[in-house]
Amino acid sequence: MGDPVIQFRGVTKSYRKGGQELVVLDHLDMDIEAGEFLALMGPSGSGKSTILNLVGGLDLPDAGDVIVGGVSVPALGGDELSTWRARHIGYVFQAFNLLPVLTALENVELPLLLTPLKKAARREQARYALEIVGLADRLDHRPKQLSGGQEQRVAIARAIAMDPTILLCDEPTGDLDRDSADQVLDLLGRLSAEYGKTVVMVTHDQKAGEDARRVIHLDKGVIAPVDA
């Protein structure tokens, strides 16, 4: 076992819905190693996406601690959290979430505005990220001019543009056909294996689960035992 880059320690998270309290994570303890390609699977409402939100500091736990790279994420706040997130976390969403008014290159360049890089260097880095995902020939295309698979690959390029250590992917193949989904999974696998990224992927896709190096099944906010 390597060193855990992500640690959940007694994490509890609940939401209020229709006047009722729904516990989505219940005293969860979990370790994720650096460079792992991990799939989080389980039924809807089992807390998979909440885990991603807590790792990235998009949401706060009710109790417990989320430690990423030795840093307690809930303890960070304001600009400190934003800066930390920009440096360490890359997000990939199910709905791609590209900005429709920007080209592929501009979408990928967007997070690089947070760096002190000059325009030319930013463009170069964005172009390189798009090359990695195999879209060097689609730089000036707007999202609506791309297929779903291409859009998701642009989103992955955007997520890796800042060279983060962790990629958080929320149903990255959810809106894709099989071929496109396989391409995206292959890409995520390569980013983990060749570039050492820690990929944490929430998925309902069995094939995605098979491609990941480890699968954690969640049920009602706790890790479910896996049948042999």
Partner 1 sequence: MNLERLVRRQALSHPVRALLTVGAVAVAMFLLCFLRSIVTSLDAAVKESSGRRIITASAVSLFQALPASYSAAIAEVDGVATVSRFTWFGGVYKDPENFFAQFGTDPQLLLDQYPEIELPAEHKQAWFDDKRGAIVGIGIAEKYGWSVGDTVPLLGTIFPRAGGEPWEFTVRGVYRSTRANVDEMTMYFHWTLLDEALESGESMGPRGTSVYLIRLDDGWEGEEVAQAIDDYYAGGPQRTRTQPEAAFQADFVNMMGNLPTFLGMIGAAVLVAILFGVVNTMTIAARERLRSMGILKAMGFSDRVPIRLYLMESTMLVLIGGGLGIGLAWLTQPGLRAMFGTFIPVYQVAGETYLAATVACVGIGLLAGLIPALRAARLRPVEALRRGA
Q: Which chain residues interact with partner 1 by CB under 8 A?
A: 53, 56, 58-59, 78-79, 82-87, 89, 91, 93, 95, 97, 99-102, 105-106, 109-111, 113-114, 119, 122-123, 158, 162
Angle at alpha carbon of residue 198, lines to 83 and 187, rounded to 5°: 110
CA distances from 55 to 6, 9, 51, 81, 99 (A): 8, 12, 6, 11, 24
Nearer CB in complex with partner 1: 98/215: 98
Q: In this structure, are residues 217 and 41 in contact, taking their beta carbons and an 8 Å threshold?
A: yes
Closest approach, Cβ 137 to partner 1, in A, equals 19
* Sign for the pseudo-dihedral over CA of 121, 189, 48, 181: positive
Nearest alpha carbon to residue 167 among 134, 136, 201: 201
CA 138, CA 14: separation in Å to the nearest integer?
A: 42
Closest approach, Cβ 111 to partner 1, in A, equals 4
Closest approach, Cβ 93 to partner 1, in A, equals 8
Nearer CB in complex with partner 1: 34/58: 58
Closest approach, Cβ 119 to partner 1, in A, equals 8
Nearer CB in complex with partner 1: 131/210: 131
Nearer CB in complex with partner 1: 84/128: 84
Nearest alpha carbon to residue 161 among 85, 228, 216, 110: 110
Nearer CB in complex with partner 1: 91/217: 91
**H-type alpha helices, 133-225:** 148-160, 178-193, 206-211
Nearer CB in complex with partner 1: 47/111: 111
Closest approach, Cβ 47 to partner 1, in A, equals 13
Tell the residue number behind the tokens 């030319």, with chain if given.
120
Closest approach, Cβ 118 to partner 1, in A, equals 12
